[in-house]
Amino acid sequence: MIQAFGLTSNPRKELPPAVDDVSFEARAGCVTTLLGPPGAGKTAVLRLMLELQQGRGITYFRGRPLHRIAHPSREVGVLLGDVPGHPARTVRGQLRMLCAAAGVPVRRADEVLEVVGLVSLRDERLGTLSRGMDRRLGLACALLADPHTLVLDSLTEGLSARESHWLHGMLRAHATQGGTVLFTTTDPKEAARTADRIITLEQGRLVADQEAADFSRTRLRPRVAVRSPYATRLADLLTREARTAHRSVEVVRESGNRLAVYGSTCADVGETAFRHGILVHQLADEVGDMASGGYSTHRGEEKAAEVATEDAAVPQGAAMPPELSAAHDSAEHGPGTSTEVTPATRLPEPDVPPGRLATAAGVSEPSDGPGPAASAPTRPRAAHPRSSDAALASENPPPLPPPISVRSAPSPLRPLRYELRRACGVGTGFLTGAAVLVSSALVAVLLARIGHTPQYRLLAAWPQELPLPLAALGAGLLGAIAFGDEFRHPALAVDRGTVPRRLGLLTAKLLVAAATGLLLAFLTVGCNAEVLYLVYGRELAKVPADWLALTASWIGLVIGCSWAGVLAAGIFRSTTAGLAAVVAVPVLVVPLVQKILVGSSVRNAAGFSVRLRELLLAQWPFGGERYLAAGARVMAQPVGGALALSLTALLCAYLLTTLRSRVR
């Protein structure tokens, strides 16, 4: 159950807030919709509920606010906009990555793929999916952790009637099994057909909170849909007769030969056509636009069910077909009722129980929804207040994935599994590493040809003109991407606003970045040595005499750059900012540190490193002083000291932003 109290967004300069004091409930076992025109504040309400936007008010999910729930993804399944995943990642890779983040078994990805009918597309890239397949994948992501509540924004926007029908069947199946469903829409007819409760928003304020039947009776007005080759003549006759009889009738000419007649009935329109000998191909009662102060949304792919007949001119007293008789009876009840009747050519067979086809607005056709989910067996349905006359149209409602009976215990390896799947799921890291190796080999060959370059710089491909070697820049870029992708493709942000700030996730990213940088450092030196040996011989490929200190310096430089990229990208939420922080170390921080150390003063710290070495290394057994001396030598270098200083500052800034987000 969802309980929202006083949701109010922060005011925008001189403009009123997008959401102003919105309170409502979405009960378990029901489908609830937020209805309103574009700009009414529906998405802002969802973001306030999920604590993704700052404002006032509070929302309880089964009695707890979201920040008090230990695992939000297991309580609330969210879909806001398109699927937030890297376009180059595969469908299955995206779900497996989210499985690692949520702490659910990896096999869960295959289960939800089968339910939403995407098994055949599991190896497709996210950037190649159509709109309908993207919506299905979004629903699969929301169902991945078996949540009790589904919160979906514009789930069926831009979809065909067939695809929308199937998705609504999934939502109904989730609600029937006791779950809570809340979704937004701009189409009042869609809301009336699919929801149990409709909450209407206008200009950020709640204007109505009604059951579906009350909404259809009070907020919608019926109309008569007419299709005739003589639509223009029929429209003139209907307008003239209404004016003569002093009745309020509105005739709207729609696309083609279709008319929408407001304020009349099927019987009156049919009699007028019959008296004047006008052929009518369609005559049906439909649910029309919002009654007052509202809006209308006409979608080309989605039509209300209609009565199809070749001759709507039925004489008075003549026997009418059953489907036309139902429409005529509904029209006799006046504008307070809205009826939708299936086409005569698609009526159910006699052996189909009529109760299977009942909907909130009338009778609907049996579903032949796409995908294997349409014919798969379903789990037992629980009792539901609208199960007899409001179940969404489907002979075999789509099944939900099986419940997760065993929850995995919290594990420190869970963020590490997520980060490994994130890093290996796209080819960015591999392409960056390959580019670094090739560029380093070419630079090393050119430096050896020019001459006057120390051997250790040849092996690292580090010319004097570059502030950092290519391997360190590549490691810094990979570290910046590790956090930059989280904000560019926020797969975790819909779970909880502070997820990218978690220290466990930071630790996992630092470990993976360090391992990646270490691998890149050794591959760079190895490839450069091999290329130099092949081109110039063994002389340039031999191991330097002080290899231990050089190796420690090289490893510390590459890992330090990768960590600087991770921390800076996490603070500034940008890959570019992370890479800029890496480059700023030798360009800005090193000259600043040197200027401070060599500046004029009464006393200086000359000989500090020697005395520190004597203090720390005097009593180390088994030659341990050599390793500590190598570490001290790395820290004594200008780049090493500046990099350590930058990492310390970035880590403190990251911890500060983490604490601030938690306090909020």
235: left (phi over 0), alpha (psi -120 to 50) or beta: alpha
Cβ proximity of 344 and 358 under 8 Å: no
**pLDDT digit string, tens, across residues 121-155:** 999 999 999 999 999 999 999 999 999 999 999 89
Token couple for 445: 């060959």
Percentage of the chain modeled with pLDDT above 70? 73
Strands 149-153 and 31-35 come out as: unpaired
**Which pLDDT does position 94 carry in this prediction?**
94
**pLDDT digit string, tens, across residues 200-237:** 999 999 999 999 988 887 777 778 889 999 999 999 99
The C-alpha angle 583, 652, 484, rounded to 5 degrees, equals 50
**pLDDT digit string, tens, across residues 158-189:** 899 999 999 999 999 999 999 999 999 999 88
**pLDDT digit string, tens, across residues 409-426:** 556 678 899 999 999 999
SS3 362: strand
**Lowest-confidence region among 104-118, 405-419, 453-467, 640-654:** 405-419
Q: What is the mean pLDDT of residues 334-351?
A: 33
State the burial class of residue 450 (Cβ atoms within 10 Å of its Cβ: 0-12, 13-18, 19+). Answer: exposed
**Which pLDDT does position 488 carry in this prediction?**
85
**Which pLDDT does position 216 carry in this prediction?**
80
Cα separation, 161 vs 166, whole angstroms:
9
599: pLDDT confidence band, cut at 50, 70 and 90?
A: low
**Which pLDDT does position 485 carry in this prediction?**
87
Cβ proximity of 139 and 79 under 8 Å: yes
87: pLDDT confidence band, cut at 50, 70 and 90?
A: very high
614: pLDDT confidence band, cut at 50, 70 and 90?
A: low
Which residue type does 183 have?
F
Cα separation, 620 vs 65, whole angstroms:
55
Residue 590, pLDDT > 50, answer: yes
Cα separation, 467 vs 590, whole angstroms:
10
Which residue type does 488 have?
R
Residue 395, pLDDT > 90, answer: no
| Site of tokens 């008075």 | 316
The reported pTM is 0.72
Which contacts qualify for 345-351: CB closer than 8 Å, 24 or more apart? 345/308, 347/323
Cα–Cα distances in angstroms (integers) from residue 448 to residues 468, 525, 542, 543, in the given order: 18, 14, 14, 16
Of residues 504 and 581, more confidence is placed in 581
Q: Which residues pair with 200 in a beta bridge?
A: 35, 208
**Which pLDDT does position 621 carry in this prediction?**
56
**Which pLDDT does position 103 carry in this prediction?**
85
**pLDDT digit string, tens, across residues 2-57:** 999 999 999 877 788 889 999 999 999 999 999 999 989 999 999 999 888 889 99
Token couple for 467: 């502030």
Residue 313, pLDDT > 80, answer: no
Strands 282-290 and 220-227 come out as: antiparallel
Q: What is the mean pLDDT of residues 628-648?
A: 68
Token couple for 599: 């500046």
The mean pLDDT value of the chain amounts to: 78
Cα–Cα distances in angstroms (integers) from residue 378 to residues 113, 400, 401, in the given order: 16, 7, 10
Cα separation, 642 vs 648, whole angstroms:
10
Q: What is the mean pLDDT of residues 587-611?
A: 68
Token couple for 346: 């698609």
Query: Which of 654, 660, 664 is CA-nearest to residue 503?
Result: 654
**Which pLDDT does position 363 carry in this prediction?**
29
